[in-house]
C-alpha cells in the first residue's frame, strides 16, 4: 500500500549558494521559489532498471510548482548540515521507498518560471543509479510513477514536451549527449 508521509514543507530552510556553489546562507523553500527565485542547492536523480528503462515520477498535484508534470525519478534539496550523498539517499527512500547506489554525473544552474506562481533557480547536482526491486511511492509527494524505455521517452519528449518539467528536459538532453552510453553500459 502506498505511503502518505509528508516529508517537506514550504517553511523548511534551503541552502542558498553563489554561482560557484558556495554556501551563502539559507531561506525558506517558499522564499527560495518566490518571484524569479533565489539560487539554492538541489539535486536530481535518474534511476534505471535492468531493461534500461528510466523511472519517471509524476509530481503531486499539491506541488506549487509544476504540479502533475512528469519528471525524473526524484528531485529535491539537501538540508543544512547534510552531505549531498546523505540527501540523495534520504529523499529517494522518502519518495519512492527504495535505496540504491547513486553516482554523481554533473552539476549546473538553471532558472525556470512557472506561470505567475514562482520559479526554480537551482544549482543542481545530477545523479544516476540502477534499481530493479519494488517501488513504494509516497503519495503525499508524487501522483504516479512509471518505467519508460529510452525510445518511448524520446517520442513523448518530441510530441508532448509540455508534460515534462523544465529541469528534466535540460538534464535529459545533457545526459543523452554526454553520459547515456556509459549509463546504459552499466559503468
- The domains of the chain, with CATH numbers, are 13-145+163-184 (3.90.79.10)
Q: Quick one: 22 exposed, middle or buried, by C-beta within 10 A (0-12, 13-18, 19+)?
A: exposed
Per-residue model confidence (pLDDT) at position 9: 80
Q: How far is CA 151 from CA 20, 166, 169, 173, in A?
A: 35, 20, 15, 14
75 is a catalytic site residue: yes
To the query of whether residue 32 is one of the catalytic residues in this protein, the response is no
| Predicted structure pTM score | 0.95
Residue tagged active-site, from 31, 122, 141, 171: 122
The residue from 32, 75, 100, 124 that is catalytic is 75
Question: Which H or E element spans position 82?
Answer: none
Range 97-112 average pLDDT? 97
* pLDDT 10s digits, 72-83: 999 999 998 999
168-173 long-range Cβ contacts below 8 angstroms, 24+ apart: 168/44, 168/70, 168/71, 168/72, 170/108, 170/110, 171/44, 171/46, 171/72, 171/108, 171/124, 171/126, 172/46, 172/72
The per-residue pLDDT for 105 is 98
Amino acid at each position: 500500500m502506498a505511503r502518505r508521509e509528508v516529508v517537506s514543507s514550504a517553511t523548511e530552510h534551503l541552502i542558498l549558494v553563489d554561482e560557484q556553489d558556495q554556501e551563502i546562507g539559507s531561506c525558506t523553500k517558499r522564499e527560495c521559489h518566490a518571484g524569479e527565485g533565489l539560487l539554492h542547492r538541489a539535486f536530481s536523480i535518474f534511476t534505471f532498471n535492468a531493461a534500461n528503462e528510466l523511472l519517471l515520477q509524476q509530481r503531486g498535484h499539491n506541488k506549487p510548482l509544476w504540479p502533475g508534470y512528469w519528471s525524473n525519478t526524484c528531485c529535491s534539496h539537501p538540508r543544512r548540515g547534510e552531505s549531498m550523498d546523505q540527501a540523495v539517499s534520504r529523499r529517494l527512500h522518502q519518495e519512492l521507498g527504495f535505496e540504491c547506489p547513486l553516482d554523481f554525473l554533473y552539476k549546473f544552474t538553471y532558472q525556470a518560471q512557472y506561470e505567475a506562481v514562482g520559479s526554480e533557480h537551482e544549482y543542481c547536482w545530477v545523479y544516476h543509479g540502477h534499481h530493479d526491486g519494488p517501488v513504494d511511492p509516497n503519495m503525499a509527494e508524487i501522483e504516479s510513477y512509471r518505467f519508460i524505455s529510452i525510445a518511448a521517452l524520446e517520442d513523448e519528449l518530441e510530441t508532448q514536451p509540455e508534460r515534462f518539467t523544465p529541469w528534466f528536459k535540460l538534464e535529459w538532453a545533457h545526459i543523452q549527449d554526454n553520459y547515456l552510453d556509459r549509463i546504459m553500459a552499466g559503468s
